[in-house]
Amino acid sequence: MSVVRPKVAELVFSLYGRALHPELFKVYQTRTFERNGYRAKVDITSAGHVVTWQYMGQILTEVAAAANHPLPKTRELMSHRLRSIHRDRVDFRGVTNYKVLFQLEHTSLDIFWACQQELSKDEHHEGLVHLFDASGRVALGAVSYVHVTARNRSLLVRAFHTFPDDCAIVKSESLFELPSST
């Protein structure tokens, strides 16, 4: 089955105060991180990524997905359409601080292809990388690259998702951190 990206205009960035069923997503790459009592699972999916953070019985799930993707509304803490640049933060029940910065960048064709090639290089294997099938309109498929820095009190997730049909790149930087009092 050929898998291509949805249109970048259809994307939404959401945060939930709960776990989401894994059956909701087609996962292409996954990695789990454990440090100092927290556990985080990072997945590359067809439209973007899913990060599930667990600490002291609390769960936060970050999702970059298509707006028409069948996601629940129960315990949705934030949801934003991807438009230019946006920052948000959530202090979750005094246990986890969450900060996110994401942006949608439309680029020239030359800049887009340079970024696309750089993200596709083999040297990025310290992160999660997935190359998608071409849509047919352009010769090269989309790329997702997610780099995770796991520290004792925090998890930093930097993600890059390309959308060749739209000559666009979605960049996000999410920080899950334990408050200094825990």
pLDDT, residue 1, reads 40
State which amino acid sits at residue 56. Answer: M
**Vertex 13 angle, CA 120 and 147, to 5°:** 35
CA 107 to chain centroid, in Å, comes to 20
What contacts 1, CB < 8 A, 6 or more positions away?
Answer: none
pLDDT, residue 125, reads 64
| Closest to 10 measured CA to CA, from 71, 52, 61 | 71
pLDDT, residue 138, reads 64
pLDDT, residue 6, reads 73
pLDDT, residue 46, reads 86
Rounded Cα distance between 172 and 164, Å, is 18
Domain assignments of the chain as residue spans, ordered by start: 8-177
Rounded Cα distance between 162 and 61, Å, is 22
DSSP symbols for 62-88:
EEEEETTS----TTEEEEEE--SEEEE
pLDDT, residue 2, reads 45
pLDDT, residue 17, reads 95
> What does the block give as tokens for 41?
């699972």
Contact present, 50 and 60 (Cβ < 8 Å): no
Which regions of the chain are under pLDDT 50?
Answer: 1-2, 182
pTM, full prediction: 0.90
Rounded Cα distance between 52 and 15, Å, is 10
